[in-house]
A and B are shown apart, each in its own frame.
Chain A
Amino acid sequence: MLAMAGIGAVVLGAATAFAWAGGLFSHRLTQTRIINTFEAVNGVHPGFRRNHTKGVCLAGTFQASGDAAAISDAVVFKPGTVPVFGRFALAGGMPRTPDTPSTVRSMALNFTTSNGEVWRTGMNDIPVLPVKDVQGFYDQVSTAKPGPNGKPDPAAFPAFLKKHPEAVQAIAIIKATPFSKGFADDRYESLNAFLFVDAAGKKTPVRWAMVPVEPFQPALKTAPSDQNFLFTDLERRLAKGPVQWHLIVTIGAPGDPTNDASKMWPKDRVKIDAGVLTVSALTAEEDGNCRDINFDPMMLPHGIQPSDDPLLSARSAAYSVSFRRRAGEPKSPSAVQPPARQGA
């Protein structure tokens, strides 16, 4: 009888440990809670991303200069050209939200090299992130969560700033940086730091940015009546020919934070021009290459590694939940429908 009770205790103990590992007995912040918060703020739009929801697919090439190969063994940085696809999008979780001159814009890219390796990166057109850790990110999104009256609590944002002093500084930096007129003259930042690893295994802390060849033009003062004017502008620009960006890699000096994306690195850091991105075509998400892809910033090739930035793992986790949910849902057309063109 004692033996039976002991066996029961062992089996039950194992089952309990398993449930504990799955977070059953704690209220910690999980990837599911983050995405649930996005859904609480924006509603559920089946088949769409839970954030950066409004977007369009891009196609083009990346021509590496070879200059970054000195600090990274990644095949993508060796001289040569690789095909690229990706996505231009607006921050926010509404698929049909009207474009505004000052909504944060993003560029997500997928590079596939000849040896079959994949590099994905999701970049934003702000110089820093407002927060440095996962709790901060969650608290920031939560400030927009509707209360019992259907509206966000006006006290939530000041409370968020008080709890996360880094956000006060970061938001000031973001506000001081002028928005460009459109997607084509915009600069997209990796925000999080990564490590480039050379053939000998030496690690170099880096951040990267897609810096436009198009000259900067200031953002419009007021939004035109076309609800998709940012995307329409990009289509018009691309109808005239490809749009290019330089992939500029900034090397962090000792002491530059790699675990805090809310802080700038000093402007005088060494920079490498790793090559040129040429975007030549846009397609609607549903006929494009980007809707059914998870632009997880942790999908890195040999030669690029994550830094100690806590937001990297959290982004990866949250993106995986968003991807899993929208993958199984029925899909509907995107708000952005570029006219089909030859070669697109």
Chain B
Amino acid sequence: MQGRRHAPPWWFTLPALLLFAFVVLLPSARGLHYAVTDWDGLNPDFTVVGLDNFTAMADDPDAFGAVRHTLVVAVAITVLQNGLGLLLALGVNSAIKSRDVLRVLLFAPAMIAQIVTAYLWRNLLGPDGAVNSALGAIGLGGLRRDWLGDPDLALWMIVLVVVWQYAGYSMVIFLAGLQSVPKEIYEAAAIDGTGPVRRFWSIIRPLLAPALTINLMLSIIGGLKLFDQVYAMTGGGPGHATDTISTLIYKEAFTLGEFGYSIALAVVLTVIVAVASGAQYTVLSRGERAAS
């Protein structure tokens, strides 16, 4: 009875719930509505076209390409960013003297706005940019390329730039996980004569499971929603060689005035993100439980 008297009234949550409904649920519901219309973003008169926008995607090679690029980019970024992030974390978790400086330097790119780094790398990777100049200067002129103008390379250049920027971010999360491992465990393992590989696999990996879950979730969602770097570095080109679902959504809405179709694409992206992150979370949380 005492507890009941002190429990806050349920309607205390109402302002937050209503705000959430107003700024999130209502626009989302309206978005779903627009996804089944032929709205051009400007004309107040539009008609409901049912699932036409979704069926049109089946005949749209640009949409297929964008989905393929999005999945490739998301997987590549997730694997490379976390692999590199883990290696960096292991490196700067050691007793080397300059580790504090290295931690700051490696984390620094993640603090810069994506659009800034994207324009920076667009210039560095240009035909007369610093990357080609450096290759020429060290006698590797044969490797000079039009890095962002080559449809076979451009998407991978974007992946590398994202990995360069956010590997330090993953590193910090892994580092927090590594530092939560009690020293005594390392000491016990050392006394038992455990090698570094065995130590990593049997001791560090299970204890890093929560950090791995967070990192993988963040990078897969970030990879699936990738926009800024692509738009600033290549604009989705050459042609559509680097278009992701996000850049296609932007182009359909703001360049072509196909808002209905664009929002339908956004719905598809939302479903892909929800399914991918949900599946990943299920698998990883099962792994965490098994490791603990």
Partners in one complex: no
